[in-house]
Amino acid sequence: MKKIYLLFLLTICFVAVKGQSNIVDSEVGIIEHLNDTIPLDLKFLDENSDTVTLRQLIDKPTIFSFVYFDCPGLCSPLLEGVGEVIRRTDMILGKDYQVVTISFNFRDTPEKAKEKKKTFTDRYAKDHKEGWHFLTSDSVTLFKVTDAFGYKVKAVGLDYVHPSAIIAVSPHGKITRYLYGLSYLPLDFKMALIEAQKEEARPAGQKILLYCFAYDPAGKRYVFDVLKISGTLLIFILLLFVFWLWRYSRKRKKQINS
């Protein structure tokens, strides 16, 4: 009985460590940096080729999104999700809050940024274009800003594998909320902005969903991660079995002693 017990303990340890190492070693994803202040003096080029810093731009609650302009997958749906919630919320873009979209591809240019801005502001924010900024920069700056947000991407040829989320930042540059996915509820969006205005950081409930899904580079979409969920369930079942063995062993000892 002791040998079986030890065997299952070793199995659990191996599965748990293996699963944990896969999570830690992941090259793509988000590590939340709530309450951290982003580097406000980093320099970017906006859609008009003007040099700006985040300190110059951020004077109200700000929603950050990270994309690259030639993205064949998640980026357009993400920006459409941002545009749709801009249109549906009762807060006014440019007055109550602003949106900053940064390309993490150093090859992107202000010309591409201008074209992308026109596409999405014409569709979703025609009367409030000044409230949605599109920025580009060099590779060093882009690494610093994505690292500050805990936003991890991986280059695959000329494309990138990357997570899907928008991030709320306070008027003083403090990260206060992460909203995951490609579409956002107006209430969640509004609450994120209100919390940012109050400098209140709050963890996102959608993070549990991110654990259950993985990005499929071939299909360029998020899919249910059967392997990860199966591994978690296996660990849970093994723990229950070991607990049963322990209870059974104690019960047998009591019976023998009596």
For 204, counting Cβ atoms within 10 Å of its Cβ (0-12 exposed, 13-18 middle, 19+ buried), the class is buried
User: What are the start-end ranges of the H helices in the chain?
Assistant: 2-24, 54-57, 75-88, 110-124, 139-149, 186-197, 207-212, 226-257
Rounded distance between C-alpha atoms, residue 116 and residue 105, angstroms: 14
Handedness of CA 23, 28, 32, 36 (dihedral sign): positive
166 forms beta bridges with 65, 179
**Confidence (pLDDT) at 70:** 94
Rounded distance between C-alpha atoms, residue 247 and residue 70, angstroms: 59
Q: Would you place residue 7 in the very low, low, confident or very high pLDDT band (cuts 50, 70, 90)?
A: very low
**Confidence (pLDDT) at 241:** 79
The total number of residues written for the chain in this structure: 258
Matching residue, tokens 């993490």: 104
110, 48 contact by CB (below 8 A): yes
Confidence check: pLDDT of 172 > 70:
yes
Rg of the Cα atoms in the chain: 23
Confidence check: pLDDT of 235 > 60:
yes
**Confidence (pLDDT) at 255:** 72
Measured CA distances, 186 to 149, 192, 193, 236 (Å): 23, 10, 11, 36
Rounded distance between C-alpha atoms, residue 106 and residue 70, angstroms: 12
Confidence check: pLDDT of 17 > 50:
no
- What average pLDDT does this structure show over 126-151? 97
